[in-house]
């Protein structure tokens, strides 16, 4: 397990590009596998999570040609049962979306992953899939991975998800592509809209109404897609540039679709000096004095992955910040309520929980030895906090960042060098 040492100091200056959006990358790979023809994808995330999904679509019959510039040409539509277990690595998005897609295909498959995946709740997708007639079973009769799937024979349903989760919505809608009639997902709180956006863009019949998304059975037409930069990764630089004095950072071509700009709204309320170009997608952030705010439960589905680094911003702000309705954080790659608390407490921050509310008091941070808990977002949040701590910080388990942002340390070094 690797260790990354980060000392305080700055400023951070320059322009950079973050990896392609991870959530979109998973979905375009699945759609390309289903399409009858050749799809072209540029800008795919280079994280290990997405590489696992790419490997899986190859195992079930997609023909993948990867160019030297990272451009993928994928011929799908002729899928078949795999010869081996399908390994999603550390990807909760991957296993849940794939469970939906594979549940509708007429062959047997088994989805598995690392120790973290085997702890994460799969009942939230197994329940709606069972309502559709899917034959999916967890390990030893449980609802945990590995998941054995005997695909085919699905019935369209209307499903009201008890949790606000774009992964659950995506799972059900992908299964709906192979059902015998329309499938509807009802949402009390809006979640990220990547699945329905991409379905519509690739020729699938999607009807969107307030709180409802309906998909008809079918397959995508061959498509050409460029994946924009991941807002969840851009958020680390937005916070870093906000809290390190004298900084000015431009993150280029950041995805700006619906239900993904929540972290920008929160930082603006906290006093951040930032601008997200609605045309080119560039996110420009300059250092500013931050103050506390309240992040409501209705905002959380759109920024759930950014909460660890927003908590770092809160620890550097004046006053108190409350993150309400964050119970979903407990079932991520780590229990992110506990790991965010542990990170900030180790660095001298003031943080507490009140039920499903995370409360952070602003103040000064000190250098410390912190752990990633095998969670990429906790590792990178620790590195951002280290930039303004008194003394050096070591992040143990730094290799976790390869899940989503392998080049983070190199990008940090470049920004400290003025973007050279």
If you write DSSP's letter for every residue of 172-211 in order, what string do you get? HHHHHTTBSS-EEEE-SS----HHHHHHHHTT--EEEETT
d(CA 58, CA 75): 10
HSE, CB side, 13 Å, CA atoms: give it for residue 420.
4
List the catalytic residue out of 21, 87, 305, 411: 305
Where does 89-227 show beta strands of DSSP type E?
A: 108-112, 135-137, 147-150, 158-160, 183-186, 206-209, 212-215, 224-226
Q: Tell me, yes or no, if 305 is annotated catalytic.
A: yes
**H helix or E strand, kind and range, residue 157:** none
- What is the distance of C-alpha 52 from the center of its chain? 15
Residue whose tokens read 């945990």: 144
Query: What is the C-alpha to C-alpha distance for residues 358 and 215, in angstroms, rounded to an integer?
Result: 36
> Scanning the structure block, which residue is given the tokens 């590009």?
17
H helix intervals, 230-298? 231-243, 262-269
Cβ(194)–Cβ(27) under 8 Å?
A: yes
Pairing, β 283-286 against β 248-251 = antiparallel
**Helices 408-416 and 376-386, interaxial angle, to 10°?**
20
Residues 145, 96: contact at Cβ < 8 Å?
A: no
The H or E element that residue 284 is part of is strand 283-286
- Residue 25 φ/ψ, nearest 5 degrees: -55, -45
Nearest to 293 by CA among 263, 312, 270, 259: 270
Q: What are phi and psi of 105, to 5 degrees?
A: -100, 140
User: Residue 302: how many CA atoms within 13 Å on its side-chain side?
Assistant: 19
Active site residues: 305
């Amino acid at each position: 397990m690797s260790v990354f040492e980060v000392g305080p100091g700055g400023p951070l200056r320059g322009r950079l590009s973050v990896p392609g959006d991870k959530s979109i990358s998973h979905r375009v790979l699945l759609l390309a596998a289903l399409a009858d023809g050749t799809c072209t994808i540029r800008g795919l995330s280079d994280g290990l999570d997405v590489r696992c999904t790419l490997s899986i679509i190859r195992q079930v019959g997609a023909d993948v040609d990867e160019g030297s510039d990272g451009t993928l040409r994928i011929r799908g539509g002729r899928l078949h049962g795999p010869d081996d277990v399908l390994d999603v690595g550390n990807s909760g998005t991957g296993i849940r979306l794939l469970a939906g897609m594979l549940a509708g295909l007429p062959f047997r498959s088994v989805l598995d992953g690392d120790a973290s995946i085997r702890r994460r709740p799969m009942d939230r997708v197994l329940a709606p899939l069972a309502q559709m007639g899917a034959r999916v079973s967890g390990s030893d009769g449980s609802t945990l991975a590995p998941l054995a799937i005997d695909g085919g024979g699905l019935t369209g349903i209307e499903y009201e998800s008890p949790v606000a989760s774009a992964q659950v919505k995506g799972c059900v809608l992908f299964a709906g592509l192979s059902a015998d009639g329309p499938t509807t997902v009802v949402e009390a709180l809006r979640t990220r809209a990547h699945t329905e956006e991409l379905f519509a863009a690739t020729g699938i019949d999607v009807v969107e109404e307030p709180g409802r998304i309906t998909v008809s059975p079918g397959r995508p037409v061959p498509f050409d897609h460029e994946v924009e930069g991941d807002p969840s990764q851009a958020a680390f630089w937005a916070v870093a540039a906000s809290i390190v004095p004298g900084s000015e950072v431009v993150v280029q071509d950041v995805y700006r679709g619906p239900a993904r700009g929540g972290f920008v709204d929160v930082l603006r309320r906290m006093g951040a000096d930032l601008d997200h170009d609605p045309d080119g997608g560039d996110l420009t952030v300059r250092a500013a004095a931050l103050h506390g705010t309240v992040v409501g439960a209705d905002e959380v589905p759109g920024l759930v992955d950014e909460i660890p680094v927003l908590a770092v911003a809160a620890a550097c702000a004046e006053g108190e910040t409350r993150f309400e309705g964050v119970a979903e954080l407990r079932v991520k790659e780590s229990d992110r309520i506990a790991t965010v608390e542990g990170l900030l407490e180790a660095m001298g921050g003031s943080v507490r929980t009140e039920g499903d509310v995370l409360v952070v008091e602003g103040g000064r941070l000190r250098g410390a030895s912190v752990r990633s808990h095998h969670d990429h977002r906790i590792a990178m949040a620790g590195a951002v906090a280290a930039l303004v701590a008194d003394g050096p910080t070591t992040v143990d388990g730094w290799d976790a960042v390869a899940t989503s942002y392998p080049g983070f340390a190199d990008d940090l070094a470049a920004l400290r060098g003025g973007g050279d």
